[in-house]
Structures are given as structure tokens and as C-alpha cells.
Amino acid sequence: MNSLLKLTIAALLCLSGSAEAQRPELTFDEDDGRVIIQVDGEAIAHYVYRDDFLPRPYFAHVKAPGGIQVTRQHPPQAGDRDDHPTMHPGIWLAFGDLGGEDFWRNKASVRHGDFIQKPASERNVGSFIEQKQYIGSDGRIVCEEEFRFAVLAKPDASLFVFESIFSGTKPFSFGDQEEMGLGVRVATPISELAGGTLTDAEDRSGANAIWGNPAAWCDYSNVIDGQRVGITVMSHPTNFRPSWWHARDYGLITANPFGRAAMKQGAASRIVVQPGETLRLRFAVYLHSGAGDDAIGKAYDDYAKLGQ
């Protein structure tokens, strides 16, 4: 197992906080191009790494503790807003301009290579490492990504930890667009248009106030079936720059450290990665049930300490 991932898992176990008897049991089940993440035998997310219709990996059917789904149904179902049905599958990492190719709008593809470390779990923590290739519309390999994923399950929250390391045999670059980074499409009843609340770490509220501004985290939440549930996207402080937020009232939040001009924060940005170099991106998604801003802030502080 990668040493950094080992340290992350050890730190996550320390963050568990619950007595051993209260810790839920986290397991993985693999089935036909997907890894199903289960807590106490119930699926809380599907990581789909091979799909005949959507040409990049994604997480779908993501649930907060208690079983309430916090990402939009994939594909959208009756009662859902049905815009961007393949671009917004749940949780995904994609880029509108990577090596001049558009991976956000599925005009180029991200191919699963292999699991460097197969999905494995211990108590309430699990992890895997996946190798991916970014394939341009002309069939060329733009770059490769080593995707390291870890998950912590607690009775009232789950934390998904993402780390992506990009490299290539030829120079490649990340351009400047709104649609760059880690995206989440929340369940329709959580969206601001449905009465949900969109907040960030700087005490801003609402998509209009949050869009284009930097913050450590951004949260979408609402009361469903009498329970406040939500999903928080976090950007790690060791990223090459803070993330600006592409936030929409219909239910989209994207942590974007690339789109400086697109987010109206300065001159156009282009991040070039040369052969022999790497670019590392670190994000997390916090799935919570009954948590307020104080709990979200504490969860971010704990996450920010991982792997520093």
C-alpha cells in the first residue's frame, strides 16, 4: 500500500471518535465495473469506473448516514431536474480544458487502467488506488492520473478523501474554465431552488454570494423527512492554490482551483505539467446527518491535517 495512503488511513482511524462497539462496519463489493461502498451492509455509494454510456469514472447514489440520498439520482428520475444528465452523475473529477480536450462535457474520455491497490477495508475505513488514462478525442493519451481514495464511516457522518496525482510523458496543461475540478450534483430536494441552504467557510450564503469566491469548503444541505442532511465539498490547503466555487442554485457545487479568469479573479491561468513533474490535487466530500456549521468546520480542520 502507498505510504501516504497508509498515513491517511491511520489518521482516519484516529478521527473515528466513536467507541469500537459503535463504529459501523465498512465494506466494499465489486460488481461489473463498479465498487459499491457499504456501511453495515447498506450501500452508501457506487464508484463506477466503467460505463458504456458515460466515458469517465464517477460516484453515484451517494447517501448520508440514515440512508437519505444526497446526490441526484443517476440517471435523473421523475421529480428531478433533468439537465446535464451525463455531465452531473453525482460526484466526479473532470476538466473542461485539459491538454486542449474537454473531459467535463464528455467530448474526451477517462479510461480505467487498473487498481494499483484493490479496494480493501479495515473496521470503518477503506481505500483503493486506481490508475487512469485521459484519452483525447483523437485517441492520444493526454496524461495519466493515480487516483487515491479513502473513506471513513461514522454513525453521523462519512468522509470521502480524494487525492489525484497527474503526470505524463509529454507536456500537458490545465486551462481556465468554470468547469474544472471536483463537482457534486446534489439531490433535487437539497438544492437551493427546493429550499436548501448553500453556505461556505467564509459565512457566505446562497449561490449568488458564493459563486466565484475562494473558500476552504462549500456545503449544500436541507431538511428531508425531518432530518437535516447535507454534503460538503472540501479543498485541501496543500493544493497549489485555493479553490474558487462554481455554485448554482439548481444543485451544483464545484471546487475549481484553475478557472481564475473564468471565476473573475484575475488573469487567465494555465498550469503546465512537464515530463518528470506531477500535479497533485486533494479534495474531500463530507456526508452528514444532523450536523451544523460548527461540525462541518471541525470536520474540515481534521481533514486539513491529513497527510501534511
- pLDDT band of residue 228 (cuts 50, 70, 90) is very high
Are 305 and 11 in contact by the 8 Å Cβ rule? The answer is: yes
Instruction: Give the pLDDT of residue 21.
Output: 60
Q: Return the bridge partners of 130, or none.
A: 115, 147
Q: How many CA atoms, within 13 angstroms, populate the side-chain half-sphere of residue 276?
A: 0
Q: Return the bridge partners of 281, or none.
A: 164
Instruction: Give the pLDDT of residue 271.
Output: 98
Domain 3-304 bears CATH identifier 2.60.40: no
Which residue would you say has higher pLDDT here, 29 or 20? 29
Q: Is the pLDDT of residue 127 over 70?
A: yes
Instruction: Give the pLDDT of residue 22.
Output: 80
Q: Is the pLDDT of residue 14 over 70?
A: no
Lowest mean pLDDT among 6-10, 92-96, 265-269: 6-10
- pLDDT band of residue 11 (cuts 50, 70, 90) is low
Distances (CA, A) of 252 to 15, 70, 297: 29, 12, 21
Instruction: Give the pLDDT of residue 62.
Output: 98
The type of residue at 145 is E
Question: What percent of the chain stands above pLDDT 70?
Answer: 93
Q: What is the mean pLDDT of residues 41-70?
A: 97
Q: Is the pLDDT of residue 20 over 90?
A: no
Q: Whose grid coordinates read 474531500?
A: 284
Contacts with 104 (C-beta within 8 Å, 6 or more apart), sequence order: 87, 94, 95, 96, 177, 179, 180
Q: Return the bridge partners of 283, or none.
A: 162, 235
Cα–Cα distance measured from residue 81 to residue 104, given in angstroms and rounded to the nearest whole number: 19
By C-alpha distance, which of 155, 305, 165, 134 is closest to 234? 305
Instruction: Give the pLDDT of residue 125.
Output: 96
Burial of 77: CB neighbours in 10 Å, binned 0-12, 13-18, 19+: exposed
Question: What percent of the chain stands above pLDDT 90?
Answer: 90
Instruction: Give the pLDDT of residue 5.
Output: 56
